[in-house]
Amino acid sequence: MTDELYILQSSEVYDAIVVGSGISGGWAAKEFCEHGLNTLMIERGRVVKHREDYIGEGKGPWEFPNRSKVNNLLVEQQHKIQKHCYAFTDATKHFFGNDRDLPYTTEEGKPFHWIRGNQLGGKSLLWHRQSYRLSDFDFAANKADGHGNDWPIRSKDINDWYSYVEKHAGISGSKENLPQLPDSEFLPPFEMSVPEQEIQKRFAQHYPDRPMIMGRAAHLTKPTQLHMQQGRVQCQARNECQKGCSFGAYFSTQSSTLPAAAQTNNLSIAPNSVVHSLIYDEKTKRVKGVRVIDNDDLSTREYYAKVVFLCASTLGSTQILLNTKTKSFPNGLANSSGVLGHYLMDHNYGAGAGGRLDGFENEYYSGRRPTGLYMPNFRFKPSRYSKKYVRGFSFGASAQRDNWQGMRYNQGVGADFKNKLTHPGGWSFGMYAQGEMLPRYENQVSLHPTKTDKWGMPLLHINCEWSKNEIDMMHDAADLAAEMLTKIGLKNVSSYTSYKDKPPGLAIHEVGTARMGHDPKDSVLNNYNQTHDVANLFVTDGASFCSTSTQNPSLTYMALTARAVDYCVKEMKNQRL
C-alpha cells in the first residue's frame, strides 16, 4: 500500500463511506472495493502500517524498562481503564486508547470498562481471535424464552456468508457436528497436549453431552494459496499476537482485508478523522455523508457518499447516531423506535475452577499455542436451562505445567530454589466461563447532557450492570466447573467467582444498542443491517446484535458485514438506493 491512499480534503461523492477500520470496517471496505465501488474508509485514529508499525513485536520482556509492565504514573494518567485488559502491556499500549483523551461517564455504582483501539485496523490488532458460528438455537433464543426481540435471521440466511469469510480469514478448528456450535470451513486445528487429550477422554466418558474441543481461532495453521497470495504465512505459535504479527498469521485488517481493498485501486482512507455526525437530507430522507473533526488540529471537514456503513464499534456507531439530531429524528438518527442506545450487552467471564492433574511428568509442550480448549454451551435451549436462570455459558480451558513464571512466587532462597525454577513442576487444568447476558432495555448508553470531549462532542454515558440472572449463572458455572473437574479425577479443585471485579465491557464483546429486528417499532435495523428509517444507512458491527449467545462475536461481524454489502450493492444497481 502507498501513501496515495490517504486523503484529507475531498469534494468527491464516493459510492460508499465506511466509518471504522476494524474487523467490520475492513470487511466492508474490501467488499465494496471488490465490487468496483469507489470507497472511502474513515478512521478516527492514526495510520498503522503492517509490519512497519508493530514496534513491540519480537521483543523479549527484558528489552523493556519494566519487563513489559507499564510505568505506574503513565497508567494512572492515561490508561486507568485500558490497564484492565489482559492484553495491555508496555509492548502493546500504543494500540490502546488514551483514557485521558477519551472520557465517558457511567451511572454511579455501575462501572463499565470500555476498551478501545483507535487506529487503522482498530481492535483487529488486539482481538483474541476466537471464531465461532452462531447456531439456530442462538438466533431463536430470544423468541424461545421471551427475553429480547426475535433475530430477523436464522442460520440459513448467513451460513454461506460464514463460509465466505472463513475461507478468506482462515479459521483453525475441528469438525464436531454439534447442534449448538456449527462447524466452519476449517484449517487444521492446533494440537492438544497429552494431558489435555486425557482430560478430553475423561469428559467424554463422564459428560458425553459436554464435549471438550480445541478452540477455533483465526490463525493460519496451514495457509491456503489464497492466504499466501495475501502475503500471509503459517502461525509461528509465539502467542504474542497483540504486539502485531508481521507473518500475517492471524486475521487482522492490516494483514488481510485492507490489502485486498487497496489492490483494487478503489480505496481511499481518511485517518485521524473523528466522525461527529452524519449529514441527513430531510427531502430525500437519505444520508449524504459525514461531518468530521480532525483528531489533531480540531478543524472540520465533510465527506459525501451514496451510502454509509457504520462500523465504528458497538458504542462508537451508536454515539454517532445519537449525536446526529435532525428535525425528523430529534433523539438520534434512525431512532423512530426509541430503542437506539438500549439493550447493551457483553459476555460475563466471572467464574471458573481449576485443579491439579497427577502424572504426565514426562510430557511437555513446545511453542506457545495461541488458543486453548473450548466446551460449547450445553444449556443451549430452554429444555436445558437451569431452574435458577435462563440461557447458558461456554467454558474456555487449558492444561499447563508449573514453570518459573509461576513458581517464582513460591517461598525459597538460594541455589536449590533457583535450580528448582529451571525444572517444570506439576500439571494443572483450569476452566473459565463465558456467560450470556440478557438483552435488557435498562442497560443503555446515552449522550451526557452537559459534558463534552476535546472535539466538543457530548460524552457517552453508560448505564449497565449484571442482572441477577447473570450473577446466578456465574455462581452455577463455578460450582459446575468444580464438580466436573472433581468427577474427572483432578485433585485440590477450587472454584471462584470474579464478576464483581469484571464489570461489563471488560470482555470486549459489547453488542446491542442498534439492534436488528422484524418490526421498525422495536428495532433500528432490518435483516440486512439496513436502518429501517434511512434506506442508505447500514450498521454492521456489534451494535446490530439482538442477543450475545455464548460464542465470541467477531466471526459473525464479518459474515453480517459481507452479506450487508452484497445486499447494498444489488440495491444500488437496481436503483433502489
Indicate the pLDDT class of residue 405, thresholds 50, 70 and 90. low
Q: Report d(CA 30, CA 42) in Å as an integer.
A: 14
Model pLDDT, residue 364: 84
Model pLDDT, residue 76: 87
Indicate the pLDDT class of residue 409, thresholds 50, 70 and 90. low
What 8-state DSSP symbol labels residue 381? S
What is the mean pLDDT of the segment spanning 245-265?
97
Indicate the pLDDT class of residue 333, thresholds 50, 70 and 90. very high
- CA nearest 263: which of 229, 227, 310, 224? 229
**C-alpha cell of 297?**
488540529
Model pLDDT, residue 1: 63
Residue with cell 434511512: 534
Query: Which residues contact residue 73 at a Cβ distance below 8 angstroms, ignoring those fewer than 6 apart?
Result: none
pLDDT per residue over 87-135, tens digit each? 999 999 999 999 999 999 999 999 999 999 999 999 999 999 999 999 9
Model pLDDT, residue 420: 76
Is the pLDDT at 414 greater than 90? The verdict is no
Query: Which residues contact residue 523 at a Cβ distance below 8 angstroms, ignoring those fewer than 6 apart?
Result: 149, 152, 337, 339, 515, 516, 517, 532, 546
pLDDT per residue over 422-461, tens digit each? 778 899 999 999 999 999 999 999 999 999 999 999 999 9
What average pLDDT is seen over the chain? 96
Is the pLDDT at 548 greater than 90? The verdict is yes
Do residues 249 and 236 make contact, with C-beta atoms less than 8 angstroms apart? yes
Model pLDDT, residue 365: 82
pLDDT per residue over 264-320, tens digit each? 999 999 999 999 999 999 999 999 999 999 999 999 999 999 999 999 999 999 999
**Bridge partners, residue 375, by sequence:** 395
Is the pLDDT at 248 greater than 90? The verdict is yes
Model pLDDT, residue 419: 77
Is the pLDDT at 408 greater than 70? The verdict is no
Is the pLDDT at 417 greater than 80? The verdict is no
Is the pLDDT at 180 greater than 70? The verdict is yes
What is the mean pLDDT of the segment spanning 519-545?
98
Do residues 462 and 107 make contact, with C-beta atoms less than 8 angstroms apart? yes
Model pLDDT, residue 116: 97
pTM of the complete model: 0.97
**C-alpha cell of 545?**
446484535
Q: Report d(CA 194, CA 196) in Å as an integer.
A: 5
Q: Report d(CA 299, CA 181) in Å as an integer.
A: 48
What is the mean pLDDT of the segment spanning 50-55?
96
Residue with cell 509442550: 365
Is the pLDDT at 530 greater than 90? The verdict is yes
pLDDT per residue over 126-169, tens digit each? 999 999 999 999 999 999 999 999 999 999 999 999 999 999 99
Model pLDDT, residue 27: 98
Q: Which residue spans within 440-529 are E strands per DSSP?
A: 444-452, 458-463, 491-497
pLDDT per residue over 508-522, tens digit each? 999 999 999 999 999
Model pLDDT, residue 452: 97
Do residues 412 and 404 make contact, with C-beta atoms less than 8 angstroms apart? no
Percent of the chain past pLDDT 90, that is, above it, reads: 91
Q: Report d(CA 249, CA 235) in Å as an integer.
A: 5
Q: Report d(CA 173, CA 132) in Å as an integer.
A: 10
What is the mean pLDDT of the segment spanning 32-46?
98
